Amino acid sequence: MKQAKYTLITGASAGLGREFAVRCAKSGMNVILVALPGGNTSSLAVSLCREYQVDARVFEFDLTDSHALKSNIEAITTTFDIDFLINNAGTGGTSPITDTSLENIDRIIQLNVRSTALVTRLLIPHLLEHERSYIMNISSMAAFTPIAFKTVYPASKAFISSFSHGLREELSGTGLSVSVVYPGPIMTNSNTSRRIIGQGLKGKLGLLPTPRIAEIALKGTLAGQPVIIPGWMNKVNHLLMSILPLDLKLKIVSGAVKKEIRYQPSLQNN
């Protein structure tokens, strides 16, 4: 019989997802960590169990493989009782469209868009079994404007935004609360960090430490906030994005992003 409750975190082995895993365990939540095979997720789980006396389980599979996704999520829900889903796994990059491989485009769409929608759809019936449950979807400040030289990534994050708002409305009146988080730049993986440093002061605007972003996102989600924008600078940015005409914000942001290209190797993040 399922008794203990678990928080499922996708992309939990590194970056923001790892920070969510640590924070959730620290506050006494049992966690299910989803990441690609071959990483250090198992050792993270062992250290969380030891340090915080919670149960931490690892499921290593490729979220872009919809068969693996379906069978793993079904196996998880057969054994574990999930009351909190954190859709964090995501990828992106900066490169001119003709230099971007079909595989990279496909990977961004499959991970950011398809896997988020499928994991959410598979878990909703289980989340609804609880009097109170939560979904946190990680979008990005990039969702607020189209961006040249990134094109697919901001579009995928705009999907997350729209998907989250629609779900929240559909599920209103149930105990399941849906929140969407729009982080600004985060120094997570080395490619992203190199890119942010390379942008100088402009790249660092809105930059917050990863633990602080995780803290704000978790607090807001558990308080039932629909929209979470970490940091005052990002809130100002959002305001600007909502009042500037499309062609102007497109030019300003795309101009800044173009400078990133020289800091990006062929496989990139965010």
DSSP per position, 33-83? EEE-TTSSHHHHHHHHHHHH---EEEEE--TT-HHHHHHHHHHHHHH-EEE
CB distance 43 to 56 below 8 Å: no
* Residue 176: exposure state from Cβ atoms within 10 A (0-12, 13-18, ≥19): buried
Give the binding range for ligand NAP (CB under 6 A) out of 83-91, 123-131, 216-224, 226-234.
83-91
Q: Is 221 in the site for ligand NAP (CB under 6 A)?
A: no
Least spacing, CB of residue 115 vs ligand NAP, in Å: 7
Is residue 133 at the binding interface for ligand NAP, with CB under 6 A as the rule?
no
Q: Is 138 in the site for ligand NAP (CB under 6 A)?
A: yes
Minimum CB separation from ligand NAP for residue 126, in Å? 20
Query: Which residues are CB-contacts of 267 (< 8 A; sequence separation ≥ 6)?
Result: 93, 104, 191
Identify residues 61-80 at the interface with ligand NAP (CB under 6 A).
62-64
Asked if 206 touches ligand NAP (CB under 6 A), the answer is no
Give me the half-sphere count of Cα atoms (radius 13 Å) on the Cβ side of residue 215: 7
- Least distance from ligand NAP to the Cβ atom of residue 29, Å: 18
User: Which one among 15, 154, 220, 231 touches ligand NAP, defined by CB under 6 A?
Assistant: 15
At closest approach, how far in Å is the CB of 141 from ligand NAP? 6
Beta bridge partners of 30: 6
Using CB under 6 A, list all residues that contact ligand NAP.
Answer: 11-17, 35-36, 39, 62-64, 88-92, 111, 138, 140, 183, 185-186, 188-189, 192, 269-270
